[in-house]
């Protein structure tokens, strides 16, 4: 976030400082609320700057990996590709982080993919997950156009079919309105556990790929879409249930 901005003259507008806000703190607090789990929140720009070999270490060290607002370019590119001092000296290639992520799930790593302007296909297609091999481990299918569905009155979730362990002790009817979500399509073989009303788009879906389990929540677990969600008295339990199901099955 940039700001504040000062209008010093009609021709001179100056930004005074930059604030970095990691909204992952809300989800981190929810996942740690039972005392069973420890969560490390990594900003997208730090994920992007991971040196070769670090992602493999992360997959070995952690039980569950969560991706939110991490557009495809963060997987596909490397900061060195933009370092002019390295141009023309030797080929610049690095391990494919998309491939590493897909292989990690198939070996048994569990993951959560959550929504946002830069998730799934995202705003103007900037998320781009469906254009990469990440589509192999997503329990939903991404659109090929902008997928944002937003409304100032918000949307409600409704469970679908038999109650899943993720919703144990959860009353979705009491959940506050969610201000937006990413429109996705159901994927064959991947149960849709909850949908967005009134249109019935997938809200929560799960799948198993190789030995790993994956959960998709198609809205943002934090502001702005989730600015009401984070104050829900069952927010912590919902995410704790999801994490425990992924780990314990």
Q: Which tens digits make up the pLDDT trace of 21-32?
A: 788 999 999 999
Among 79-83, 120-124, 147-151, 166-170, the range scoring the smallest mean pLDDT is 79-83
* Cβ 154 vs Cβ 176: under 8 Å: yes
Q: Which domain does 89 fall in, by range?
A: 24-248
| Residue 211, both tokens | 């030995």
CATH code (residue 188): 3.40.50.880
Query: What is the per-residue pLDDT across 128-167, written as a single tens digit (0 to 9) for each?
Result: 999 999 999 999 999 999 999 999 999 999 998 778 999 9
Domain assignment present for residue 6? The answer is no
Structure confidence at residue 89 (pLDDT): 83
- CA angle (66, 67, 70) in 5-degree steps: 160
pLDDT averaged over every residue in the chain: 93
Domain assignment present for residue 14? The answer is no
**What's the total number of domains in the chain?**
1
Count of CB atoms situated within 10 Å of the CB of 194: 23
Domain assignment present for residue 12? The answer is no
| CA–CA gap between residue 139 and residue 186 (Å, rounded) | 8
| Residue 42, both tokens | 């990594």
The answer, yes or no, to whether the previous bond of 224 is cis (omega within 30 of 0) is yes
Report the predicted TM-score, pTM, of the whole model to 2 decimal places.
0.92
Structure confidence at residue 35 (pLDDT): 96
Domain assignment present for residue 182? The answer is yes
Domain assignment present for residue 16? The answer is no
Which single residue is written with the structure tokens 């990690």? 104
Domain assignment present for residue 92? The answer is yes
Domain assignment present for residue 11? The answer is no
184-186 and 140-142: which strand pairing? Answer: antiparallel
């Amino acid at each position: 976030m940039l700001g504040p901005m000062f209008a010093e003259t009609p021709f001179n507008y100056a930004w005074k400082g930059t604030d970095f806000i990691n909204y992952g703190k809300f989800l981190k607090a929810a996942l740690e609320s039972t005392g069973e789990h420890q969560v490390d929140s990594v900003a997208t720009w730090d994920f992007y700057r991971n040196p070769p070999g670090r992602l493999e270490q992360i997959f070995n060290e952690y039980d569950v990996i969560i991706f939110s607002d991490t557009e495809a370019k963060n997987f596909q590119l490397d900061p060195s590709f933009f370092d002019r001092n390295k141009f023309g000296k030797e080929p610049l290639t690095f391990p494919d982080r998309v491939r590493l992520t897909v292989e990690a799930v198939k070996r048994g790593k569990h993951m959560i993919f959550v929504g946002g302007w830069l998730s799934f296909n995202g705003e103007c297609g900037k998320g781009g997950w469906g254009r990469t091999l990440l589509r192999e481990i997503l329990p939903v299918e991404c659109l090929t156009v902008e997928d944002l569905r937003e409304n100032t009155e918000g949307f409600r979730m409704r469970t679908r079919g038999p109650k899943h362990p993720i919703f144990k002790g959860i009353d979705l009817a009491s959940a506050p309105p969610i201000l937006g979500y990413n429109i996705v399509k159901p994927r064959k073989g991947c149960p849709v556990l909850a949908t967005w009303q009134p249109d019935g788009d997938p809200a929560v879906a799960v799948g198993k790929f190789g030995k790993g389990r994956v959960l998709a929540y198609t809205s943002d677990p934090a502001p702005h879409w989730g600015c009401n969600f984070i104050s829900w008295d069952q927010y912590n339990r919902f995410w704790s249930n999801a994490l425990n199901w992924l780990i314990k099955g």
